[in-house]
Amino acid sequence: MRRPRIGVTVDLDDARAEYRLSRQYADALLAAGGLPVPLPYADAATLGAYVSLCQGIVITGGAFDIAPERYGEARRAACGVAKPDRTAFEWALCSAAFEGRIPVLGVCGGMQLMNVVRGGTLYQDLGQDAGIRAHEQELPAGEPSHAVALVPETLLARLLGPTPLSVNSSHHQAVREPGLGVLVSARSPDGVVEAIELPDLPFALGVQWHPERLFQRDPRQFELWRGLVQAAADVYG
């Protein structure tokens, strides 16, 4: 069986001059039948080669925030550290994938990026902006901490089923205003957006939680990875 190539964005440790990727992303994609391909930051010409190489893209999460200037706001004190080089690369990659109708899965900050690329906005800090402080869990990262309600008849609900889903939570930002053509497909009980999708594209889905940390214990979380890989396989024709 030919495994579709899934490009996966990586983080950069400047102090060690090392690219880094949690093995859980690779493990999830391999288990789902994909071939994970780490994507170092690159210029526009090389980015085009990445898009030509890959049948799917995962935009990973990380311990940083998208610069609020990207969505038309001045930075406030509660906004976290930015990584301009990473955001610039992931922005260009996400835009190119959307334009090329390549399947995309955004995880945590990757979901937030998808929304901002489409012209949406974020809460710079849920506690300061919305009075919500319960989304940075104290439990281990691989333990679910709350449920989310899925919107019926969405891509997410078709992949996972319509019943509430238990998820983990490690974020202080979230989608505020959805961007152009962005459909909210899940929310937590406090109203925070937990998943988005772009119905005008074959497969463009973002989740606020970390399904790579849950797929081995929850078969429904695995369906996210299998759905992405199947959509990428369809790119082969």
108 is catalytic: yes
Virtual torsion, Cα 157, 161, 166, 167, nearest 10 deg: -40
Query: Residue 165's pLDDT band (boundaries 50, 70, 90)?
Result: very high
Q: How many CA atoms lie within 13 A of 101 on its CB side?
A: 7
Residue 4: DSSP 8-state: P
pLDDT tens digits, residue range 119-146? 999 999 988 888 877 777 677 877 877 8
How buried is residue 31: exposed, middle or buried, by Cβ count under 10 Å (0-12/13-18/19+)?
A: middle
The answer to whether the Cα torsion of 161, 112, 96, 42 is positive or negative is negative
CATH code at position 187:
3.40.50.880
Q: Which among 79, 172, 210, 223 is annotated as catalytic?
A: 210
Lowest mean pLDDT among 20-29, 31-40, 123-132, 186-195: 123-132
Q: How many CA atoms lie within 13 A of 6 on its CB side?
A: 32
Is the pLDDT assigned to residue 2 strictly greater than 70? Answer: yes
Round to whole Å and give the CA distance between 231 and 235. 7
**Dihedral pair phi/psi, residue 65, rounded to 5°:** -120, 150
Q: Which among 79, 108, 197, 223 is annotated as catalytic?
A: 108
**3-state DSSP of 5-68:** EEEEECEEECCCCEEECCHHHHHHHHHCCCEEEEECCCCHHHHHHHHHHCCEEEECCCCCECCH
> What pLDDT is attached to residue 135?
73
For the chain, percent of residues with pLDDT exceeding 90: 84
210 is catalytic: yes
Query: Residue 177's pLDDT band (boundaries 50, 70, 90)?
Result: very high
Q: Which among 90, 194, 197, 212 is annotated as catalytic?
A: 212
Bigger pLDDT: 112 vs 172: 112
Range of the domain at 58: 5-235
Contact 99, 159 (CB under 8 A): no
Count of structural domains, the chain: 1
